[in-house]
Amino acid sequence: MRAGRSNWSLVWLITKRLRVRIPPPQQIRLKMCMREIVIESPEEKKLRAEVAARTDADGMRMSRFLGMPDLSRTEGNPIAEIVTRILASPYFGDLDIITTPEIVPASVSFDLFDFPADHPARSRSDTYYINDEHILRTHTTVMWYYYLQDEEVRARIAANKPVGCFSFGKVYRRDEIDRNHMNVFHQIDGWYLAPKAVKTIGVKELEESLGAIATAVFGPDVKYRLNEDTFPYTHPSREMEVQIKDKWVEVVGCGVVKGSVLEKLGVDSSNYTGWAFGFGLERLAIVSMNLPDIRLLWSKDPRVTRQLKLGNEFKEVSKFPPITRDISFVVGNDFVPNDYFDCIRDLGDDLVEEVSLLDKYENKEKFGEGKTSYTYRIVYRSNERTLTVEEINPIQEKIIEETKEKFHAEVR
């Protein structure tokens, strides 16, 4: 797949379209056949408008998430810089780029990709459901489906040619709140399918492609290793770890595309085989710059943005003091912590740095059957200014109110 020569008009086009910085010319070798495909989904448009009109907490939250900027397409942001490096890797010279909807049918995301019926990703406590049938995409891997709908791609398959593409952008997952995680983050996926006449893809090719990613992002001296992993849609599967300052950090999930999934996507798996990978971009940015807080990637403070360059050791801009509040309550055992974290974030927005569980226990004599006591510590901190008690107290009051009203908890 090594690219032959550079094509400058194409480089310029891509630079403009993606609004990301491209490394110096000698490092770029993009092939003629790299195409950008944008999937227009009237269904997504309609659903976005519906969400935007909602006034309930879930709807307003999802609407806020959808409206957040896509940092993988924000000029100068390290998230975009990582994407640029991967796209510019000569190894991937001839892959297309596809932009897919962010609201996708659950049936596509889970059924077509062989997720078992009881897989946690299907649950409403892990994934944001727009309605019973649609979700905010949980990974960019869902692009497989959209890519194979493209007419030109289908024509290439009909002509027994290889196909493959990258897809990157925002993804959404319900999660805990801490300095390394946000419910909205960014991923990049890539895959490559070849007919037997060209190549039968197995672990060797998979490993080669991963080596290319490791070098593209971390440079030629990077040390990486692969461990066994499992994903519903690949087999065998691996996770790649890279060594960063004596620490092994898990960065990429990948595997050989499962024949059963290819068949469901309309590709003859007795002829085509392929490799695929996908990973979150924030973690790479965080380790590369030693960022103390994921929210810094979204900062507009020039003292922060000036420093946000891959490989640049981040120097804390005078860390502002936190305000800490604990809350204890007793609730029924149907309490879903991820619902609670969403609620806290709705009220505290980006002032909430972390919510940690201090204590959790049952005591039948004291609370009765089917009840649990929780104590959470909420740490409020701004990256831009010193918070005042006058500002935080009303937020904390609202959280207490919602804890009682929404979660039917007895606050202690």
Phi-psi label, residue 411: left if phi above 0, alpha if psi -120 to 50, beta otherwise: beta
The rounded Cα 130 to chain-centroid distance in angstroms is: 18
Among 30, 276, 343, 344, contact with ligand PHE (rule: CB under 6 A): 276
Q: Binding of ligand PHE at residue 100 (CB under 6 A)?
A: no
- Using CB under 6 A as the binding rule, the residues of this chain from 116 to 155 that contact ligand PHE are 139, 141
Beta strand ranges found along 118-183 (DSSP E): 134-136, 163-172
Site string for ligand PHE, 176-215 (x = CB under 6 A): -------------x--------------------------
Tell me, by CB under 6 A, how many residues bind ligand PHE: 12
Q: Please say which residue, 269 or 328, places its beta carbon nearer to ligand PHE.
A: 269
Using omega within 30 degrees of 0 as the cis cutoff, is the peptide bond preceding 236 cis?
A: yes
The H or E element spanning position 180 is: none
Stretch that binds ligand PHE, among 21-29, 52-60, 252-260, 294-302 (CB under 6 A): 252-260
d(CA 338, CA 119): 17
Q: Please say which residue, 110 or 231, places its beta carbon nearer to ligand PHE.
A: 231
The H or E element spanning position 268 is: none
Distances (CA, A) of 173 to 125, 142, 146: 9, 14, 21
Q: Please say which residue, 100 or 237, places its beta carbon nearer to ligand PHE.
A: 237
Q: Binding of ligand PHE at residue 81 (CB under 6 A)?
A: no
Q: Binding of ligand PHE at residue 253 (CB under 6 A)?
A: yes
Q: Binding of ligand PHE at residue 277 (CB under 6 A)?
A: yes
Q: Binding of ligand PHE at residue 84 (CB under 6 A)?
A: no
37 beta partners: 98
Q: Binding of ligand PHE at residue 278 (CB under 6 A)?
A: yes
Question: What end-to-end distance do the CA atoms of the chain give, in Å?
Answer: 63
d(CA 15, CA 22): 7
Q: Binding of ligand PHE at residue 258 (CB under 6 A)?
A: no
Q: Which residues bind ligand PHE (CB under 6 A)?
A: 139, 141, 189, 231, 234, 237, 253-255, 276-278
